[in-house]
Chains A and B, each alone.
Chain A
Amino acid sequence: MTELLASVGDGLVIAKRNLIKIRRVPETLVFVLISPIMFVLLFAYVFGSAIDIPGSSYREFLIGGIFAQTIVFGATFTGAGLAEDMQKGIINRFRSLPMSRVAVIAGRTASDVVYNAISLTIMSITGFLVGWRINNGIPRALAAFALLLLFAYAFSWVMALVGLMVPSVEVVNNASFIVIFPLTFIANTFVPSDGLPGPLRVFAEWNPVSSVTQATRELFGNIPPGTPEPDAWPLQHPVLYTLMWVVAIIAVFAPLSTRRYRRATLR
């Protein structure tokens, strides 16, 4: 028990250290701030005018998808941060200390929740300005934000493993595109999944990014009345299905990345 508390303490020390970097290198924040604004405006005005969803404002429909996509992309920070620590060699300092073996990664995934919270805030404000509204009450909206952050947190563990495996920060960025683009586009993020052809539709329906998006839309009240109930089980129970993924991802990737961290050799 005391060891567990001490490990949490180690994680917090690492998280604090990562957050100091945001203060010292504010340029990193610029990316976090600009790209969500860009996404919201781009999708709202470029696609929003072209795609028509019957009985609804496409902009309202889009916001859930943009939120989900942006926070999944946010996990790239986790991978890049760990890859940088490896490259700079400070990992060797951490590994030679009698600290918890999971704390460096846990601290990183924790501090990246702050990044994601900032970008969600910015996106919400931008969304609000272009006409997006919360139609289902504040408590449900808060639940939506919490679910988004939780999913982002879990996904950070995936990119943590990537960050510890690749030789440099640039590779993390490329690798994340390969993983994240299909995940966020073969989904209901920007178009309803029932319009997709066969296999893509199945993928989209079982894709956790779709369930986060669906849950977010439901909780924000962004699904227009009269929209037919989705056929797929995950989209019928999006909150539950998302939470299952959160647990599964952490259960698999936390041990894998910790193992990788223990063996990491610098070269």
Chain B
Amino acid sequence: MPNVIEAAGLTKRYGEVIALDGLDLAVAEGTVLGLLGPNGAGKTTAVSILTTLVEPDGGTATVAGADLIRQPGEVRRRIGLSGQYAAVDEHLTGFENLDMIGRLYRMGRRPARERARELLERFDLVEAGDRPVKTYSGGMRRRLDLAGALVAAPPVLFLDEPTTGLDPRSRNDLWVIITELVGHGSTLLLTTQYLDEADQLADEILVIDHGRAIAQGTADDIKGMVGGERIEVTVAHSDEAEKARSVLAPFATGRIESHGGRDTTLVVPITGGAPVLTQALRALDGDGIGVRDVMLRRPTLDDAFLALTGHDTAADGGEDDD
């Protein structure tokens, strides 16, 4: 399959901050690339460059056969963008927003109107379609923004953190919509901070941090890079968490992380499976540490991220971006 998006050595700096540090990426026709990284990793910068909003300091890229630097107008004709913050006009109705975009794609009066109605229907916004967007919920705005990206039915789509800040239900709705889009053959570059989202939606995942690619592959590949298993232990008394950590240290093949209320849950990377778990529990019991919950599991993408970057996804990857 030919690559529809191809970028090599993209760099961008903002003063002191290096937002992109030689990023390469490729997205094959009809597939979804998930660009995964924490806040400040450079996801939005990458999307902005590939959608011609920002000029890179260095590097080259082609999008849908058009050269990014030499034919930015052609690129714009062939892409749809739904940015990190919904770019909709609050004072216009949903219909007016989509109609305006259609006109700006120079679709002509009638086709623009028909397309707007069609998209409102598809995104479950028919009832709200004639109300000003001011009255919309976050999830509705997001859907409208995504509909805006689809007005001209572009072959290539860019979605920058499409579900950030949404409640679980709206998030699920969007997942369904995005899965449908891909089913229709669109090529998609999607950014996310959520590992489960990348796992769910992307064929291929590119993990970036500090503007650089640090891992690439399918969700399974990336989990595989981390290897082994994880024991998750929740201690019964929070004041025993520290003691438990030192008891479990000899079993760990990497750093022990903690989370949960008052850090009472410890995540211990191990190799060796159930027998090691049994030994670990015996050791805890021997020291009189009460265990409320325990689990042996394969590493998730969260663990993978931690292992690859040395910090977890919630932690700041550099600068905050909002």
Q: Which residues of A contact B (CB under 8 A)?
A: 6, 9-10, 13, 17, 20-21, 24-25, 88-99, 103, 263, 265
Contact = CB atoms under 8 A, between A and B. Distances in A.
B140 to A, nearest CB: 16
Contacts, number: 70
B51 interface: yes
Given A24-B132, A98-B73, A92 B53 contact: yes
A6 B79 CA distance: 20
User: What is the predominant secondary structure among interface residues of chain A facing chain B?
Assistant: helix
Nearest to A103: B104
A21 B97 CA distance: 12
Contacts of A96: 51-53, 76, 79, 81, 83
Interface in B89-115: 89-92, 96, 100-101, 103-106
B96 A90 contact: no
16 contacts: A9-B106, A10-B103, A10-B104, A17-B89, A20-B91, A89-B83, A89-B85, A89-B86, A96-B79, A97-B104, A98-B76, A98-B77, A99-B106, A263-B55, A265-B48, A265-B53
B81 A90 contact: no
Contacts of A24: 91-92, 132
A265 B54 contact: yes
Contacts of A25: 91
Interface residues of B, number: 29
Contacts of A263: 55
B54 A90 contact: no
B56 interface: no
Contacts of B25: none
Contacts of B182: none
Contact of A20 (B73, B96, B104): B96
Interface string B61-95: 00000000000010011010101011111111000
A90 B91 contact: no
Contacts of B88: 90, 93
